[in-house]
Amino acid sequence: MLMKKILLYEEDSELLHTLSGLLEECMTGIEIITAMDCVTVKKMIKMNAIQVFLLDLECYQEKNDKSIIDLGRYIRSLPQYQYTPIIFFDSACRYIKTAVNELHCQSYILKPFSKEEIMGAISYISKIPIKNKKYITLYDIDGVYYKIDEKDICFIEAMGKKMKFYVFLNEQSKIENIVTNRYRLLELRERLSSEFIQSHRKYIVNLSYVSNYDKTMCMAQVAGYSLPIGRSFKVDFEQALQWRI
Protein backbone atom coordinates (compact mmCIF):
# COMPACT_ATOMS: atom_id res chain seq x y z
CA MET A 1 0.00 0.00 0.00
CA LEU A 2 1.29 3.47 -0.86
CA MET A 3 1.99 5.73 2.09
CA LYS A 4 0.44 9.19 2.03
CA LYS A 5 3.27 11.63 2.66
CA ILE A 6 2.35 14.68 4.74
CA LEU A 7 4.76 17.58 5.12
CA LEU A 8 4.30 19.51 8.37
CA TYR A 9 6.05 22.89 8.69
CA GLU A 10 6.07 24.34 12.20
CA GLU A 11 8.86 26.25 13.98
CA ASP A 12 7.43 25.68 17.46
CA SER A 13 8.83 22.29 18.51
CA GLU A 14 6.05 21.68 21.07
CA LEU A 15 3.28 22.41 18.55
CA LEU A 16 5.13 20.34 15.95
CA HIS A 17 5.09 17.37 18.32
CA THR A 18 1.38 17.90 19.13
CA LEU A 19 0.34 18.09 15.48
CA SER A 20 2.43 15.05 14.56
CA GLY A 21 0.70 13.11 17.33
CA LEU A 22 -2.75 14.16 16.12
CA LEU A 23 -1.93 13.11 12.57
CA GLU A 24 -0.74 9.69 13.69
CA GLU A 25 -3.86 9.32 15.86
CA CYS A 26 -6.30 10.33 13.12
CA MET A 27 -4.78 8.63 10.07
CA THR A 28 -3.26 5.32 9.10
CA GLY A 29 -0.91 4.64 6.20
CA ILE A 30 0.87 7.98 6.47
CA GLU A 31 4.45 9.18 6.61
CA ILE A 32 4.92 12.50 8.41
CA ILE A 33 7.80 14.63 7.17
CA THR A 34 8.55 17.52 9.52
CA ALA A 35 10.41 20.76 8.89
CA MET A 36 11.24 23.74 11.07
CA ASP A 37 12.57 26.06 8.34
CA CYS A 38 11.86 26.87 4.70
CA VAL A 39 15.18 25.51 3.47
CA THR A 40 14.27 22.08 4.79
CA VAL A 41 10.79 22.32 3.26
CA LYS A 42 12.20 23.02 -0.19
CA LYS A 43 14.71 20.19 0.16
CA MET A 44 12.06 17.69 1.30
CA ILE A 45 9.62 18.45 -1.52
CA LYS A 46 12.39 17.69 -4.02
CA MET A 47 13.19 14.37 -2.34
CA ASN A 48 9.60 13.22 -1.79
CA ALA A 49 6.23 13.16 -3.52
CA ILE A 50 4.16 15.08 -0.95
CA GLN A 51 0.38 14.48 -0.88
CA VAL A 52 -0.57 17.07 1.78
CA PHE A 53 1.08 20.25 3.12
CA LEU A 54 0.39 21.64 6.61
CA LEU A 55 1.97 25.09 6.96
CA ASP A 56 1.95 27.51 9.88
CA LEU A 57 1.57 31.07 8.54
CA GLU A 58 3.27 32.48 11.63
CA CYS A 59 6.56 30.95 10.57
CA TYR A 60 8.94 33.10 8.56
CA GLN A 61 11.86 32.50 6.30
CA GLU A 62 15.14 33.43 7.90
CA LYS A 63 16.22 35.63 5.01
CA ASN A 64 14.32 38.81 4.02
CA ASP A 65 11.43 37.93 6.37
CA LYS A 66 9.05 36.66 3.69
CA SER A 67 5.75 35.18 4.79
CA ILE A 68 4.79 31.54 4.33
CA ILE A 69 2.42 32.73 1.62
CA ASP A 70 5.55 33.11 -0.51
CA LEU A 71 6.45 29.52 0.30
CA GLY A 72 2.93 28.56 -0.77
CA ARG A 73 3.45 30.39 -4.05
CA TYR A 74 6.70 28.51 -4.56
CA ILE A 75 4.94 25.18 -3.94
CA ARG A 76 2.18 26.05 -6.40
CA SER A 77 4.78 27.06 -9.03
CA LEU A 78 5.99 23.45 -9.16
CA PRO A 79 3.96 21.45 -11.71
CA GLN A 80 3.67 18.39 -9.48
CA TYR A 81 2.17 20.46 -6.63
CA GLN A 82 -0.29 22.69 -8.48
CA TYR A 83 -3.28 20.86 -6.99
CA THR A 84 -1.81 19.27 -3.85
CA PRO A 85 -3.94 20.03 -0.74
CA ILE A 86 -2.55 22.73 1.57
CA ILE A 87 -3.79 23.41 5.10
CA PHE A 88 -2.76 26.74 6.65
CA PHE A 89 -2.68 27.57 10.37
CA ASP A 90 -2.86 31.18 11.54
CA SER A 91 -3.78 33.24 14.60
CA ALA A 92 -5.68 35.77 12.46
CA CYS A 93 -7.24 36.04 9.00
CA ARG A 94 -4.42 38.12 7.54
CA TYR A 95 -3.84 35.99 4.47
CA ILE A 96 -7.16 34.21 4.06
CA LYS A 97 -8.09 35.85 0.73
CA THR A 98 -4.72 35.05 -0.81
CA ALA A 99 -4.69 31.55 0.67
CA VAL A 100 -8.15 30.72 -0.67
CA ASN A 101 -8.37 32.68 -3.93
CA GLU A 102 -4.77 32.48 -5.14
CA LEU A 103 -3.30 29.37 -3.53
CA HIS A 104 -6.60 27.43 -3.32
CA CYS A 105 -5.82 25.97 0.09
CA GLN A 106 -7.90 23.08 1.38
CA SER A 107 -8.42 24.60 4.85
CA TYR A 108 -7.53 27.75 6.80
CA ILE A 109 -7.57 26.95 10.50
CA LEU A 110 -7.38 29.65 13.16
CA LYS A 111 -5.41 29.31 16.40
CA PRO A 112 -6.06 28.25 19.03
CA PHE A 113 -7.61 25.28 17.24
CA SER A 114 -9.35 22.30 18.73
CA LYS A 115 -8.56 18.65 18.16
CA GLU A 116 -11.93 18.34 16.37
CA GLU A 117 -11.01 21.05 13.86
CA ILE A 118 -7.76 19.32 12.99
CA MET A 119 -9.44 15.94 12.78
CA GLY A 120 -12.18 17.35 10.52
CA ALA A 121 -9.71 18.81 8.03
CA ILE A 122 -7.49 15.75 8.08
CA SER A 123 -10.41 13.32 7.85
CA TYR A 124 -11.49 14.93 4.58
CA ILE A 125 -7.97 14.93 3.16
CA SER A 126 -7.46 11.28 4.12
CA LYS A 127 -10.14 10.37 1.60
CA ILE A 128 -8.27 12.00 -1.28
CA PRO A 129 -6.78 9.16 -3.35
CA ILE A 130 -3.09 9.02 -4.10
CA LYS A 131 -2.42 9.30 -7.79
CA ASN A 132 -0.38 6.25 -8.69
CA LYS A 133 0.44 7.17 -12.26
CA LYS A 134 1.90 10.19 -13.94
CA TYR A 135 2.51 10.17 -17.66
CA ILE A 136 4.86 12.05 -19.93
CA THR A 137 4.22 12.36 -23.66
CA LEU A 138 7.03 12.04 -26.19
CA TYR A 139 7.49 12.37 -29.92
CA ASP A 140 10.66 10.69 -31.14
CA ILE A 141 12.81 12.09 -33.94
CA ASP A 142 10.68 10.17 -36.48
CA GLY A 143 7.46 11.74 -35.15
CA VAL A 144 6.22 8.58 -33.39
CA TYR A 145 4.05 9.40 -30.35
CA TYR A 146 4.55 7.76 -26.93
CA LYS A 147 2.64 8.10 -23.68
CA ILE A 148 4.90 6.74 -20.96
CA ASP A 149 4.23 6.08 -17.30
CA GLU A 150 6.96 7.86 -15.32
CA LYS A 151 7.70 4.72 -13.33
CA ASP A 152 8.86 3.02 -16.57
CA ILE A 153 11.55 5.66 -17.21
CA CYS A 154 14.90 4.42 -15.87
CA PHE A 155 17.00 7.44 -16.74
CA ILE A 156 17.40 10.19 -19.31
CA GLU A 157 20.56 11.15 -21.14
CA ALA A 158 21.23 14.54 -22.72
CA MET A 159 22.89 14.29 -26.14
CA GLY A 160 23.43 17.83 -27.35
CA LYS A 161 20.01 19.16 -28.32
CA LYS A 162 18.44 15.71 -28.09
CA MET A 163 17.27 13.63 -25.13
CA LYS A 164 17.50 9.84 -24.95
CA PHE A 165 14.95 8.15 -22.69
CA TYR A 166 15.77 4.67 -21.39
CA VAL A 167 12.39 3.08 -20.70
CA PHE A 168 10.55 -0.19 -20.22
CA LEU A 169 7.83 -0.38 -22.90
CA ASN A 170 4.82 -2.72 -22.94
CA GLU A 171 5.88 -4.37 -19.67
CA GLN A 172 8.89 -5.94 -21.40
CA SER A 173 12.04 -6.72 -19.45
CA LYS A 174 14.15 -5.11 -22.16
CA ILE A 175 14.99 -1.42 -21.96
CA GLU A 176 14.13 0.54 -25.08
CA ASN A 177 15.61 3.88 -26.18
CA ILE A 178 13.48 6.80 -27.32
CA VAL A 179 15.30 9.83 -28.74
CA THR A 180 13.47 13.16 -28.88
CA ASN A 181 14.42 16.76 -29.53
CA ARG A 182 11.32 18.29 -27.89
CA TYR A 183 12.64 18.60 -24.34
CA ARG A 184 15.57 20.15 -22.51
CA LEU A 185 17.12 18.83 -19.30
CA LEU A 186 15.99 21.81 -17.20
CA GLU A 187 12.40 21.46 -18.43
CA LEU A 188 12.39 17.74 -17.63
CA ARG A 189 13.69 18.39 -14.11
CA GLU A 190 10.68 20.62 -13.49
CA ARG A 191 8.13 18.29 -15.09
CA LEU A 192 9.17 14.99 -13.55
CA SER A 193 8.20 13.88 -10.05
CA SER A 194 10.47 13.76 -6.99
CA GLU A 195 11.42 10.17 -7.89
CA PHE A 196 13.81 11.72 -10.41
CA ILE A 197 17.00 13.64 -9.67
CA GLN A 198 19.70 15.11 -11.85
CA SER A 199 22.88 13.18 -11.07
CA HIS A 200 25.18 14.65 -13.72
CA ARG A 201 25.09 17.45 -16.27
CA LYS A 202 24.06 14.78 -18.80
CA TYR A 203 21.78 12.53 -16.74
CA ILE A 204 18.49 12.50 -14.83
CA VAL A 205 17.89 9.20 -13.04
CA ASN A 206 14.87 7.49 -11.55
CA LEU A 207 15.91 6.68 -7.97
CA SER A 208 13.73 3.56 -8.06
CA TYR A 209 16.20 1.94 -10.48
CA VAL A 210 19.39 2.75 -8.56
CA SER A 211 20.66 -0.65 -7.39
CA ASN A 212 24.17 0.28 -6.30
CA TYR A 213 26.25 3.39 -5.63
CA ASP A 214 30.02 3.57 -5.25
CA LYS A 215 30.85 6.80 -3.36
CA THR A 216 34.57 6.43 -3.97
CA MET A 217 34.28 6.05 -7.74
CA CYS A 218 31.17 8.27 -7.95
CA MET A 219 29.39 5.68 -10.08
CA ALA A 220 25.84 4.40 -9.80
CA GLN A 221 24.21 1.30 -11.23
CA VAL A 222 20.91 2.34 -12.78
CA ALA A 223 18.85 -0.42 -14.43
CA GLY A 224 22.06 -2.26 -15.28
CA TYR A 225 23.89 0.78 -16.64
CA SER A 226 26.94 2.35 -14.97
CA LEU A 227 26.41 6.10 -14.78
CA PRO A 228 28.78 8.77 -13.44
CA ILE A 229 27.66 11.08 -10.62
CA GLY A 230 28.80 14.65 -11.22
CA ARG A 231 30.70 16.40 -8.43
CA SER A 232 28.27 19.32 -8.31
CA PHE A 233 25.31 16.89 -8.03
CA LYS A 234 26.92 14.41 -5.63
CA VAL A 235 25.59 15.83 -2.32
CA ASP A 236 21.97 16.13 -3.50
CA PHE A 237 22.10 12.68 -5.09
CA GLU A 238 23.43 11.04 -1.93
CA GLN A 239 20.87 12.80 0.27
CA ALA A 240 18.01 11.76 -2.00
CA LEU A 241 19.28 8.19 -2.08
CA GLN A 242 19.77 8.05 1.69
CA TRP A 243 16.24 9.35 2.29
CA ARG A 244 14.83 6.37 0.40
CA ILE A 245 16.77 3.76 2.37
Model confidence at 212: pLDDT above 60 = yes
Bond before 85 cis per omega within 30 degrees: no
Whether residue 94 contacts residue 131, with contact meaning beta carbons closer than 8 Å, is answered with no
Taking the complete model, does pTM exceed 0.75, yes or no? no
Q: Which pLDDT band, with edges at 50, 70 and 90, does 232 fall under? A: very high
Model confidence at 119: pLDDT above 70 = yes
- The mean of the pLDDT values for the chain is 84
Strand partners for 31: 5
Name the nearest CA neighbour of 140 among 184, 191, 178: 178
Name the nearest CA neighbour of 200 among 241, 161, 162, 232: 232
Which of 2-6, 59-63, 87-91 ranks highest by mean pLDDT? Answer: 87-91
Name the nearest CA neighbour of 70 among 41, 46, 36, 110: 41
Label each residue of 50-113 as H, E or C.
Answer: CCEEEEECCCECCCCCCEHHHHHHHHHHCHHHCCCCEEEEECCCCCHHHHHHHCCCCEEEECCC
Coil vs helix vs strand at 49: coil
Cα separation of 122 and 87, whole Å? 9
Cα separation of 91 and 224, whole Å? 53
Q: What is the pLDDT of residue 229?
A: 97
Helix and strand counts by DSSP (H, E) for the chain: 7, 15
Q: How many CB atoms lie within 10 A of CB 64?
A: 7
Which of 28-32, 46-50, 105-109 ranks highest by mean pLDDT? Answer: 105-109
Tell me the pLDDT tens digit for each residue of 143-157: 999 888 888 899 999
Name the nearest CA neighbour of 193 among 46, 4, 34, 36: 46
Cα separation of 178 and 115, whole Å? 52
